[in-house]
Amino acid sequence: MSCNYCVVDVARVACSQCLTQVYCSDACASEDWATHHHQVCGAPIGNNVTLDSLMARVYAFERPTTVEGWVRLRNVLSESDATLQREIDAYRVTQQEVEERIEDVVFLTNLTSMGPIVLRSPGKGYGLFADRTYRGSLDSKGDYVTTYDGARIKDSVGPYVLRLSNNSAIDGHHGFELINKGRWINNDDDDFNVYFAANKIYVYTSEYEFERAPRIRMGSELLINYGNEYEKSWEEDDALRGRGTEDDPYILY
């Protein structure tokens, strides 16, 4: 039986929720879950799910401060209430929730079924950190990491806008499903370790790494090169809002 995602390699693992979708690797399982399978796996997600209703069901949970702590907590949730976790995975965040309840958004993001963990990054606000070891590849794409998601727009410029074509872009400021965590990745022009393929994010492998593909170890911060438009957008945004600080952290999201 072939992998339900890449349809190339022999299936070796199954979705732990429904056991019906099978994959050749954890990477294919992760990418299918993030892009499609979480929408159809198991019971359908109700339309009455809100940020408040989700928070009410997890309010008693601890709030770890490390990647390892968050991974343990989400595994406990997966075993105890997989339906709730699917609802968290698929929840789309509104602009008001991002601007007024960012700590709750981060909390729920870290309870999703898979993917990196959002933590404070010194001097940068929030950042995205590897929840496991991710590996690059010398002859193909590296491991899938996450997806850059958000409100679909036709034409706009801004610090969270990822342009896909001349008339299509994604505004990652809001409108993203919690399981899609690309909008939390910080920029680094020189030491980036992941890259975009459309709005999917994979481990970056330098053309100079001839002998051994890179590894991003658990707990390492994920960094990407957003390009010149990103820097320009932040400069314009800073000029309008003033440089972000801990007291006025809007642009640190």
CA–CA distance from 78 to each of 23, 40, 86, 90, 112 (Å)?
20, 17, 9, 14, 9
In a domain, 23, yes or no: yes
In a domain, 210, yes or no: yes
The pLDDT of residue 201 is 93
DSSP 8-state code for residue 149: -
Q: What is the pLDDT along the chain (253 residues), one digit of tens a residue?
A: 667 777 666 667 777 656 567 778 777 777 777 666 765 565 444 557 999 999 999 999 999 999 999 999 999 999 999 999 999 999 999 999 999 999 999 999 999 999 999 999 998 899 999 999 999 887 778 899 999 999 988 877 777 888 888 788 899 999 999 999 999 999 998 889 999 888 999 998 876 655 666 889 999 999 998 876 544 444 444 443 343 343 333 333 3
CA–CA distance from 209 to each of 130, 139, 205 (Å)?
21, 11, 7
The pLDDT of residue 229 is 53
The pLDDT of residue 8 is 64
How far, in Å, CA of 191 to CA of 27, rounded? 23
Task: Specify the residue for token string 């400069």.
Answer: 235
DSSP 8-state code for residue 219: T
How far, in Å, CA of 176 to CA of 165, rounded? 19
Do residue 132 and residue 238 come from a single domain? yes
End-to-end CA distance of the chain: 43
In a domain, 95, yes or no: no
| Overall size of the chain counted in residues | 253
In a domain, 74, yes or no: no
CA–CA distance from 179 to each of 5, 126, 235 (Å)?
18, 16, 29
In a domain, 12, yes or no: yes
In a domain, 16, yes or no: yes
Do residue 24 and residue 137 come from a single domain? no
Cβ partners under 8 Å of residue 212, min gap 6: 138
How far, in Å, CA of 48 to CA of 166, rounded? 35
Considering only CA atoms, give the Rg of the chain. 18
Instruction: For 50, list phi and psi in degrees, rounded to 5.
Output: -130, 170
In a domain, 222, yes or no: yes
Domain count of the chain?
Answer: 2
Query: Residue 5 sits in which domain range?
Result: 1-42
What residue spans of the chain are helical by DSSP H? Answer: 26-35, 51-58, 67-80, 82-90, 95-100, 102-109, 228-241
How far, in Å, CA of 182 to CA of 199, rounded? 8
**CATH code, 222:** 2.170.270.10
In a domain, 87, yes or no: no
